[in-house]
């Protein structure tokens, strides 16, 4: 048992049999998620994210491979492995006639949580449903139902929380409230595995990121290293006067005048020296008002990685 791993996946393969032959959903997946990490699993629709999560949850049978949750093999110790995780699914699956409070109490009972150790109201407040605690689930909006699903996943205080598109349909203010609570329990030691199409969330929250595409892991590294995949910065130079023509000193650089009459230079740290830009500015004899830089964001990196997977 590897004590430092929350999730260990080795050689995970999933194939579905169909009339037209075998459909491979996951192909030889290897993945290790350290305890206490905030891990992002990103990929386009149909990449295999939900299949992998459903295998971990015991809802889908794998074809082959090893999966361990907090050291518990899902085949030999299914109960222990399932007790170690709380899963927020994409689908809004709730009993429509139970109030939110009873939904959580019943779920805690299913997990065998003693009444004196339940944190029902604490969790309800954390996900912003305090004023709806005794309202039937069918009366809640889509965003509120999704928050209730998040609350359900937390009732047994799991070591690992898996969030499968948790903020789809949730408004901005409540998303911020939800992430504040998730970040809090992560700092307390809970491992978070997040899938999301809101890549700005993953960029802000995750410390490690894996990208899956067409059933294969195509990237897996720290967020810092993943963000270095595109070694590009845009340097914007604002001058005291309006610049209508690119100075000759910028001729050898990838530079142009943008719509705000500022000069933009594309700069690659691995190939060029920033000093070249400073020399060009100095030779231009123009008075600089401000210099700012813009790096590639996670969305651009994601598009680059998935596009490269199809062209390689």
Backbone dihedral region for residue 96 (phi beyond 0: left; psi -120 to 50: alpha; all else: beta): alpha
Axis crossing angle, helix 142-154 with helix 100-110, rounded to the nearest 10 = 30
pLDDT at 15 over 80: yes
pLDDT at 187 over 60: yes
Q: By the 8 A CB rule, do 111 and 123 touch?
A: no
Q: What is the pLDDT of residues 120-158, one digit of tens each?
A: 999 999 888 999 999 998 898 888 888 888 899 999 999
Give me the pLDDT at residue 3, please. 66
Question: Cα separations (Å) of 111 from 76, 84, 156, 185?
Answer: 19, 11, 6, 19
Q: Tell me which of 3.40.50.300, 3.40.50.2300, 2.30.110.10, 3.30.70.100 is the CATH number of domain 233-295.
A: 3.30.70.100
Give me the pLDDT at residue 7, please. 97
Give me the pLDDT at residue 200, please. 86
Give me the pLDDT at residue 270, please. 64
- DSSP symbol at 241: S
The average confidence (pLDDT) of the chain is 88
- DSSP symbol at 101: H
Give me the pLDDT at residue 298, please. 82
Domains 5-227 and 233-295 share a fold: no
Give me the pLDDT at residue 21, please. 80
In this structure, are strands 233-239 and 288-295 parallel, antiparallel, or unpaired? Answer: antiparallel
pLDDT at 81 over 90: yes
- DSSP symbol at 175: H
User: Domain 5-227 classified CATH 3.40.50.300?
Assistant: yes
Residue boundaries of the structural domains of the chain: 5-227, 233-295
Contacts of 85 (CB under 8 A, 6+ apart): 56, 57, 69, 158, 159, 160, 161, 162
3-state secondary structure of 2: coil
- Rounded Cα gap, residues 95 and 67, in angstroms: 30
Report the candidate in 310, 301, 311 with the shortest Cα–Cα distance to residue 40.
301
Q: What is the pLDDT of residues 86-116, one digit of tens each?
A: 998 887 778 888 999 999 999 999 999 999 9
Give me the pLDDT at residue 121, please. 94
Give me the pLDDT at residue 310, please. 47
Percent of the chain with pLDDT over 90: 49
As a three-state string, the secondary structure of 24-58 is EEEEEEEEEEECCCEEEEECCCCCCHHHHHHHHHC
- Rounded Cα gap, residues 175 and 200, in angstroms: 12
Mean pLDDT to the nearest integer, 232-259: 88
pLDDT at 57 over 80: yes
Q: Select the more confidently predicted residue: 170 or 149.
A: 149
């Amino acid at each position: 048992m590897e004590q430092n791993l929350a999730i260990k996946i080795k050689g995970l393969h999933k194939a579905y049999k169909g009339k037209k032959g075998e459909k491979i959903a996951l192909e030889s997946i290897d993945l290790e998620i350290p305890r206490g990490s905030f891990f992002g699993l990103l990929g386009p629709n149909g990449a295999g994210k939900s299949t992998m999560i459903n295998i971990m949850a015991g809802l889908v049978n794998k074809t082959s491979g090893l999966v361990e949750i907090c050291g518990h093999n899902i085949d030999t110790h299914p109960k222990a492995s399932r007790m170690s995780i709380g899963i927020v699914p994409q689908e809004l699956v709730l009993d429509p006639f139970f109030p939110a409070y009873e939904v959580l109490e019943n779920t805690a009972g299913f997990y065998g949580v003693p009444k004196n150790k339940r944190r029902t109201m604490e969790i309800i407040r954390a996900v912003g449903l305090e004023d709806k605690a005794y309202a039937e689930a069918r009366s809640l909006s889509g965003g509120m139902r999704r928050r209730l699903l998040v609350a359900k996943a937390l009732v047994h205080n799991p070591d690992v929380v898996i969030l499968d598109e948790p903020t789809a349909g949730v408004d901005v203010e409540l998303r911020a409230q939800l992430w504040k609570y998730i970040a809090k329990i992560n700092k307390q030691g809970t491992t978070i595995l997040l899938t999301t199409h809101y890549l700005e969330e993953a960029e802000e929250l995750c410390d490690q990121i894996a990208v899956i595409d067409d059933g294969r892991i195509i990237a897996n590294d720290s967020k810092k290293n993943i963000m270095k995949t595109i070694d590009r910065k845009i340097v914007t130079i604002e001058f005291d006067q309006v610049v209508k023509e690119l100075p000759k000193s910028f001729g050898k650089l990838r530079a142009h005048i943008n719509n705000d009459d500022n000069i933009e230079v594309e700069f690659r740290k691995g190939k060029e020296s920033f000093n070249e830009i400073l020399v060009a500015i100095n030779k231009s004899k123009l008075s600089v008002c401000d210099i700012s830089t813009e790096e590639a964001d996670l969305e651009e990196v994601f598009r680059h990685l998935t596009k490269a997977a199809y062209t390689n």
